Structure 1
Amino acid sequence: MRMAPRLCIMAPWIAALGATLLMQSVASFMTQTLPVVAPLITASAGLAPERIGNFSSLVAFGTVLFLLLGGPFLARLGPVRMLQAGAVLAAVALLVAGLGTVAAIGLASLLLGVGYGPSPPAGSRILAATAPKHHRTLIFSVKQAGAPLGGALAGLVAAPIAIAAGWPAALLVAVGTSLLAAAAIQPLRSMLDAERDATRSIALRDVLSAHTIAAPIAALRVDPLLPRLTALSVAFALCQGCLFSFTVTWLVETRGMGLVEAGGVFAAMQVAGVVARILLGWLADRTGNATRNLVVQGFVAAGSVAALALLPTQADALLLPLCALAGFVGASWNGISLAEVARVAPPDRVSDVTSGTTLFVFLGYVAGPSVFSLLVTLTGGWTLPMLAVAAQLAVVAALVGRAR
């Protein structure tokens, strides 16, 4: 703890990156714990396995609520305090989920989403103010690598604990992790929250005002690249949301894997995403054309999901590499997108523009898993829903590429 002030003086961007990476990892760990233990928690609640998609949509909807209404809190309290508040709320959410009823899991999912909400705008605000411009995309991508890293930890930690000690024990481990992380970044608050507006009102009438709600959406008009970049990000979000929500359940239900084995494959997908976010972020800095890179990445991601959907049962040896490829290209777009958003946004509008883009992204996370779950029910299988996910990403990538 004593080294934090010295670190802040010597290299503020390193301290900022460390704090945002830690909290992004923990936020992802919290939200991905539910999908990882989904086969157990849905069975305990008397639900069909694919119903986890509805809970994943509630998580995303909770994040949308924060992105619409959380601007005044972020301005008043500062990004570090909001990251801490989100971590504490996520811990409360998993305690509620431990009750095991359908209503409790639904409420917990919504609260988890609200708790995750500060991560994108708070992280972007911190890094936009501290990151060296010539390495901006790489630094944003390293921070966003925390998302699949947290998911990998969920696969490697939550699944074995759930099997050995029950799914409520896995939730308790996540609760403790979140609270420790919130305490760990406290020494950095004096530096990273220095520009907060202590006079900003957080009264209910101001939080629910039309101006507060419209600000993130209106901010997308500040640059013509933003609508196209947002559309492509939403398509990626639909793909990633379905991959993260259903991979474990798909492997258990259709490929006959045990939960621990499926959790290991899920972890490999997440680790591939960690590596890709760093590598592809570095590549975007080198090429200087991040949007073009995302278009190409979208085509490859669509192809990998289609390959998984059509993979014959006798080719199960290809499951691990294909899932890793899907994670590599399908879960590594976030940092590149956020860095592009921060690059084109005016310095005083970074939080609003990031919230606006992320708002639509999370609407994709809301719609994707629920529609996917419905398609599984209607078609009686997983192949057509997976092909639909791949097709929408390929179509949007083609349209954005043509518009460029």
Structure 2
Amino acid sequence: MRGVAVGRQGGGTRLVSTLVHNDQRPGEARTGGNAPAGLPTAAGVAAVTVLTSLPVFLPGAANGLICAEFGWSSLRMGAILAVYWLASLAGAYLSKRAALPRVLERTLAIALTTTCVGLLTATAVPVAGLWLSSALGGAVYGYTQPHTNALLMRRCPPRLRALAFGLKQAAVPAATLLASGAMPLLAGPTGWRTAFIAAAVPCAAGAIVLARKGPTDAPAAVDRDRAAPLRADPYLLTLSCAGFFGAMVGNGLGGFLVLALTTKGASLSVASAVATAGAAFNIVVRLAAGWLTGRVPRAALGALTGLFLAGAAGTTLLSRPGLTLLTVGALLAYGGGWGWAGLLHYVIALPYPGREQRATAYSQMGVSLGAAAGPMLCGLLFTAVCPTAAWYALTAAGAAAAACVLVARTRIPPHPHGTSADVSGAASNTVRRP
């Protein structure tokens, strides 16, 4: 039996004690005797995240080609992209209320099959299919994100979990780079439909592989997890709000950075290079944040706060003139303002062993809502006011996200299972569990 210190400790210490003492969680699968699955699981989850992100990033990258073919406005394409994030919000809400399946891989197989069908429909009947692909893709993305979070917590060893979350979330900017690179390689010579078909093929292949997976979790533990309720508490709500404000920054940046740089005198090639460098830096930051947290658990919430503040500093610099300041601002905004995602889902899952899916469904709902609201707010301010107003609005959102994390530090659930009632009646400062 292990002791988990929870009584009069500070919030950060409680979070760390959960990480240190939960060496093996109920229902956590192992391979090869006592060796956790680890990196192969993280890599597989990252691949699924890339593929289920493509229904929003491929239309965004092919925006000009699609609009030119059908005579659509940018507003219409923006609405198609917004549908993805609103459907993601609905999917995360359903995930919060759903029981965790015994074989998580089969749920992911269904998600990849649905994504494949949506992408192929978009190529066959684009006028309706692009809307359908966005809606289906967003719904399965939002639904499966909490499931893959639970998979990482169950299959990865404690010291690897934060890095695994960083790798998973690094897959999102990797998907943007993949979609952007597919346009000149595939869409330019043969049309944008080729890129969609090429993306559908690995979705179908991945679905076949995952559908063949069998159960690996202990039945008793999984049944207990299915029955475990989880109500929103201040920790969940404040970090979900942090995800909302942070996603406003990240997705507003992704939609309007190139436009903002070109309106300030940068050429399209220079603006695209800055945006690409920012996306690459974003990947590095997400991985580095996970690695740091795995090595120094006490740095988790502090690093999360610092990333939000760095992003706010970056969006402030984007309101200033001069290519040098704009480039530095773009790197800070991308690295900090969008580099927090893996860390956020990790720290929100950590105090709720066995219920990580339902806990991270809250943060995913906040992220999805912010992802839809950010571009819409930026578009309104760019059009009705001025580009500078949009960057100041995103700066305020980044500062609000940091403030939410600071509040969350004082609201960490004191018990490893997230129910303070079990602690209030304890006679000592240590709660024992098998």
Match of 1:275 among 259, 274, 284: 284
Q: Counterpart of 1:75 in structure 2: which amino acid?
A: L
Distance change (3 Å), C-alpha of 1:114 and 1:350: same
Distance apart, 1:400 and its partner CA:
4.2
User: 2:214 maps to which residue?
Assistant: 190
Distance apart, 1:238 and its partner CA:
0.8
Distance apart, 1:47 and its partner CA:
3.1
Is the contact made by 1:305 and 1:390 (CA closer than 8 Å) also made in structure 2? yes
Q: Counterpart of 1:392 in structure 2: which amino acid?
A: A
Match of 1:162 among 171, 187, 195: 187
Matched, 1:125 2:137: no
Range with bigger deviation, 115-124 or 71-80: 71-80
Judging by fraction of residues, say which structure has more helix: 1
Match of 2:309 among 299, 303, 308: 299
Match of 1:401 among 402, 406, 413: 406
User: 2:91 maps to which residue?
Assistant: 66
Is the contact made by 2:317 and 2:325 (CA closer than 8 Å) also made in structure 1? no
Distance apart, 1:300 and its partner CA:
0.9
Equivalent runs, 1:78-157 vs 2, <5 Å: 78-98=103-123, 103-157=128-182
Matched, 1:351 2:376: no
Structure 2 residues without counterparts, runs of 5 or longer: 1-29, 410-434
Distance apart, 1:192 and its partner CA:
5.0
Provide TM-score, normalisation by structure 2.
Answer: 0.75
User: 1:4 maps to which residue?
Assistant: none
Provide TM-score, normalisation by structure 1.
Answer: 0.80
SS in structure 2 of the partner of residue 348 of structure 1: coil
Is the contact made by 2:84 and 2:137 (CA closer than 8 Å) also made in structure 1? yes
CA distance in 2, matches of 1:42, 1:195: 51
Q: Counterpart of 1:296 in structure 2: which amino acid?
A: G
CA distance in 2, matches of 1:152, 1:361: 20
Structure 1 residues without counterparts, runs of 5 or longer: 1-6, 200-211
Distance apart, 1:336 and its partner CA:
0.7
CA distance in 2, matches of 1:248, 1:74: 42
Distance apart, 1:191 and its partner CA:
4.8
Is the contact made by 1:240 and 1:330 (CA closer than 8 Å) also made in structure 2? yes
CA distance in 1, matches of 2:130, 2:258: 18
Matched, 1:369 2:375: yes
Is the contact made by 1:120 and 1:358 (CA closer than 8 Å) also made in structure 2? yes
Distance change (3 Å), C-alpha of 1:256 and 1:39: farther
CA distance in 1, matches of 2:316, 2:155: 40
Q: Counterpart of 1:94 in structure 2: which amino acid?
A: L
User: 1:244 maps to which residue?
Assistant: 254
Distance apart, 1:322 and its partner CA:
4.3
CA distance in 2, matches of 1:33, 1:169: 11
CA distance in 2, matches of 1:97, 1:255: 36
Matched, 1:219 2:219: no
CA distance in 1, matches of 2:38, 2:159: 13
Deviations 1:299-328 (A, max 9, x none): 11012123224344xx2x665554343322
Is the contact made by 2:93 and 2:365 (CA closer than 8 Å) also made in structure 1? yes
User: 1:388 maps to which residue?
Assistant: 393
Q: Counterpart of 1:280 in structure 2: which amino acid?
A: A
Deviations 1:42-84 (A, max 9, x none): 3333333354432222111111121222467663473211222
Is the contact made by 1:273 and 1:331 (CA closer than 8 Å) also made in structure 2? yes
Deviations 1:81-101 (A, max 9, x none): 122211221222222333575
Max Rg structure: 2
Distance apart, 1:278 and its partner CA:
1.2
User: 1:209 maps to which residue?
Assistant: none
Distance apart, 1:220 and its partner CA:
2.5
Deviations 1:318-368 (A, max 9, x none): 6555434332212221111111112111x2321111112211221111222
CA distance in 2, matches of 1:109, 1:83: 18
Is the contact made by 1:238 and 1:367 (CA closer than 8 Å) also made in structure 2? yes
CA distance in 2, matches of 1:55, 1:192: 38
Matched, 1:338 2:338: no
Deviations 1:112-151 (A, max 9, x none): 2013124421111111112222333222212222222222
Identity %, equivalent residues: 25
Is the contact made by 1:232 and 1:396 (CA closer than 8 Å) also made in structure 2? yes
Distance apart, 1:275 and its partner CA:
0.9
Aligned Cα root-mean-square deviation (Å): 3.3
Q: Counterpart of 2:384 in structure 1: which amino acid?
A: L
Is the contact made by 1:23 and 1:119 (CA closer than 8 Å) also made in structure 2? no
SS in structure 1 of the partner of residue 72 of structure 2: coil
